Amino acid sequence: MSAAGSGEVRVFAQYDRDFTEQADVVVVGSGPCGSVVAKELACAGRDVVLLEEGPPFTPADFVLDGATSMARTMREGGLRATRGTVMPTMQAIALGGGSLVNSAICARAPDFVLDDWCERFSLEATTRRDLDPHYDAVEKFLGIAPTPDAVQGQRNLLFRDGCDALGWSSEPIARNVRGCRGSGECFTGCRARAKQSMDVSYVPAAIRAGARVLTSLQVQRVLSDGRRVTGVEGQVVAPFRGSPSHRFRVDARCVVLAAGCMATPVILQKSDDLANGSGQVGENLQFHPGVSIMGVFPDPVSPQFGATQGYQSLQFIRDGFKLETLWAPPGVLATRLPGFGHALKHTLAEIPRAAVWDAIASTHRSLGRVRARRGSMDPALTWHLHPEDVPILRHALAVIAEIFFAAGAEKIVPGVHGLPEVMHDRDEARVLGSGSYGGKALTFASTHAFCTTRMHGDPRQGVVDELGRSHDVENLYITDTGTYPRCTSVNPMFTGMALAHRTALHLAERL
Ligand SMILES: Cc1cc2nc3c(=O)[nH]c(=O)nc-3n(C[C@H](O)[C@H](O)[C@H](O)COP(=O)(O)OP(=O)(O)OC[C@H]3O[C@@H](n4cnc5c(N)ncnc54)[C@H](O)[C@@H]3O)c2cc1C
Ligand code: SF4
């Protein structure tokens, strides 16, 4: 019994019994990587089924309150965190995956990152020259372009001014948007539908090309017969509550897992440890831990206006961090601010004169793992901030403080435990770059995660090859950020889509 025809997105209310589907390819996960594969293969004439655990969202579903929005769009209500070193991390559960709630930042991995990947992980065809055609194709389809000044807002332009004053490079961030109004709402969903998240770009294109898209379906196992996979199975789950109902199975000639860096290893582990001859499934978990500072200016900044993240600096990328402007609902930003009660209220009252700027760090020594939990598809995450990576984060904080004072901030709120809660000038802020505090004093979070099913030229050391093809199982592919051998040092989505584009072209030829 089939539950899906083409031409529409199937939703929870439409499943009234157990069902099976047949397809050439089943793609698990509709995030940036899975959606690219589904669209490209459907356009190449292959019969594609795209499965997504989360529901679709419309502008009417988006709420501006950060906590309410996170409870609806994020896994574990947005409260997911690592153990070991405790770090909050967010993964979306929605049609479009992370692209629904992310800031639309599109950055190509720098040359030095791709060179490093090739050298360390025995990769032969993942150079700048190999990947640029795939980045180009995605860029063209999504209309990726630098953010124009007209929608930057003060918060972003002050960052540019600060970098200019210090002689440091900065540039407008390239984003997958069309007609952005600079509303700063990317985190809770773009009500203007300007952000080209997958649910308004690649997924509709996949449907137009004949793909069947089924939401509210949680894949729990990959089915296999010897060295071949035969499909996937799982359960219908209710949006937001996750309560299970009917069962489903999709039989396919090829399975593409794109459930994200946290979920793909769990699906494999729950499938009798499939594709894990290397022992690397769920290992090598890396993040870009992000640190941020709030700076307060003498005059109004009105930080709620302007592209959510409009300016960046790659000045220190070789030192291990990328600088960006940042905006999120005040309730979310408040989690990084010191104090409570009256003191916190006082700090929050200064937000109209404030900006928040952050750094994402390449912490290669800080590793973790993803493990399946009994009776749940949510992962158990452990991760440890390595002491030798702490200086990168301290350096980043010192640099952000410099930019704030160069841009004319009257004070900064660095959010480092044990240091003054407020600093008024460069001299006071110098301590941020010193060795006087350790990793435990830092407040960080990360929405960028990688490497849990890493690619490696040597089957003994990696789960997939450069095309995302399993080393162990003939017709199983993985295309999500878990396949990165190391972090990208810049925002990861665009590289994931480029790699997924390459995998799709390869599969279109093979199938
Ligand atoms: C708040 C936030 C802001 C960010 N900002 C940026 C940014 O501006 N630029 C950038 O480059 N990166 C950004 N990122 C990171 C970026 O969004 C992710 O790296 C990217 O979405 C990863 O793509 P993916 O396809 O690998 O996985 P995901 O986007 O996580 O997609 C995986 C999909 O699989 C689904 N899924 C999981 N398990 C199952 C299952 N068992 N069955 C069926 N479906 C399943 C999930 O619901 C999800 O939709 C941000 C992330 C967040 C959370
Ligand atoms: S800044 Fe506002 S209009 Fe622009 S993409 Fe983000 S949510 Fe949409």
Q: How far apart are alpha carbons 449 and 81 in whole angstroms?
A: 12
CA 194 to chain centre: 19
- Where in the sequence is the domain holding 333, given as residue range(s)? 146-187+289-441
- Give distance in angstroms: CA of 228 to centre of ligand 1: 27
Structure tokens at 225: 């017969």
Same domain, 323 and 364: yes
Band of pLDDT at residue 336, cut at 50, 70 and 90: confident
Domain end, chosen from 441, 469, 492, is at: 441
Q: Which of 259, 267, 294, 299 is nearest to 449 (CA)?
A: 259
How far, in Å, are 299, 321, 483 from residue 162 at the CA level? Answer: 16, 17, 37
Centre of ligand 2 from the C-alpha of residue 246, in Å: 37
Rounded Cα–Cα distance for residues 310 and 186 (Å): 12
Q: Tell how strand 217-225 and strand 228-237 pair up.
A: antiparallel
The answer on 488 and 457 residing in a single domain is: yes
pLDDT at res. 8: 87
Do residues 296 and 407 share a domain? Answer: yes
The reply to whether 192 falls in a domain is no
Ligand 2 atom, smallest distance to 181 CA? 3
Which residue lies with its CA nearest to atom 30 of ligand 1? Answer: 260
Domain co-membership, 357 together with 489:
no
Q: Which of 381, 399, 383, 401 is nearest to 391 (CA)?
A: 399
For residue 136, give every residue at least 6 positions away whose Cβ sits within 8 Å of its Cβ, in sequence order, or none.
Answer: none
Let me know if residue 74 belongs to a domain: no
* Model confidence at 5: pLDDT above 60: no
Q: Is the CB of 379 under 6 A from ligand 1?
A: no
User: How far, in Å, is the centroid of ligand 1 from the Cα of 433?
Assistant: 33
- Is residue 457, in this structure, part of any structural domain at all? yes
Report CA(417)–ligand 1 centroid distance (Å). 31
Position 399 confidence tier, pLDDT thresholds 50, 70, 90:
very high
32 C-alpha to center of ligand 1: Å? 7
70 in a structural domain: no
Tell me, yes or no, whether 82 lies in a domain.
Answer: no
Q: Pick the closest to residue 312 from 303, 320, 321, 304 (CA basis).
A: 321
Q: Is the pLDDT of residue 169 over 60?
A: yes
Same domain, residue pair 129 and 220 = yes
Per-residue pLDDT, 248:
98
In a shared domain, residues 162 and 264? no
In a domain, 117, yes or no: yes
Tokens of 215: 């939401």
* Ligand 2 center–CA 195 separation, angstroms: 6
Number of domains comprising the chain: 2
Which of 414, 441, 468 is the last residue in one of the domains?
Answer: 441
Domain co-membership, 342 together with 258: no
- Residues 458-486 pLDDT 10s: 999 999 999 999 999 999 999 999 999 99
Distance from C-alpha of 21 to C-alpha of 50, rounded to nearest angstrom: 11
> Quick check: 485 and 123 in contact, CB under 8 A?
yes
Residue of 103, 267, 452 to mutate, ligand 1, most atoms within 8 A of C-beta: 103
Helix axes 493-510 and 128-142, enclosed angle (nearest 10): 100
Residue nearest atom 17 in ligand 1 by C-alpha distance: 98
* Residue 88 domain flag: no
Same domain, yes or no: 335 and 215: no
Per-residue pLDDT tens digits for 138-159: 999 999 999 999 999 999 999 9
Question: Does the beta carbon of 219 sit less than 6 angstroms from any atom of ligand 1?
Answer: yes
Write the single-letter amino acid at 9. Answer: V
Mean pLDDT on 323-346: 89
Quick check: 109 pLDDT over 90? yes
pLDDT at 195: 98
Ligand 2 first shell, C-beta below 6 A: 104, 177, 180-186, 190, 192, 194-195, 307-308
The answer to whether the beta carbons of residues 329 and 64 sit under 8 Å apart is: yes
Whether 351 is in a domain gets the answer yes
pLDDT confidence tier of residue 233, bands split at 50, 70 and 90: very high
Considering the domain architecture, whether residues 395 and 462 belong to the same structural domain is answered as: no
Per the confidence metrics, is the pTM higher than 0.85?
yes
Beta-strand runs (E) in 297-347: 311-313, 321-326
Q: Give 418-434 pLDDT, tens digit per residue.
A: 999 999 999 999 999 99
Cα dist. 211→17, 38, 272, 294, 504 in Å? Answer: 22, 7, 29, 45, 14
Residue finishing a domain among 381, 406, 441:
441
Same domain, 131 and 265: yes
What average pLDDT does this structure show over 74-83? 95
Pair 19, 111 in one domain = yes
Ligand nearest to the CA of 26: 1
Ligand 2 closest atom vs CA 308: 1
**Where residue 459 sits, what CATH number does that domain have?**
3.50.50.60
pLDDT of residue 337: 85
Question: Helix 128-142 vs helix 111-120: angle between axes, to the nearest 10 degrees?
Answer: 130
Q: 375 and 342: one domain?
A: yes
Tell which one of 73, 308, 326 to mutate to probe ligand 2, the residue whose CB is within 8 A of the most ligand atoms. Answer: 308
Torsions phi, psi for 21 (to 5 deg): -130, 155
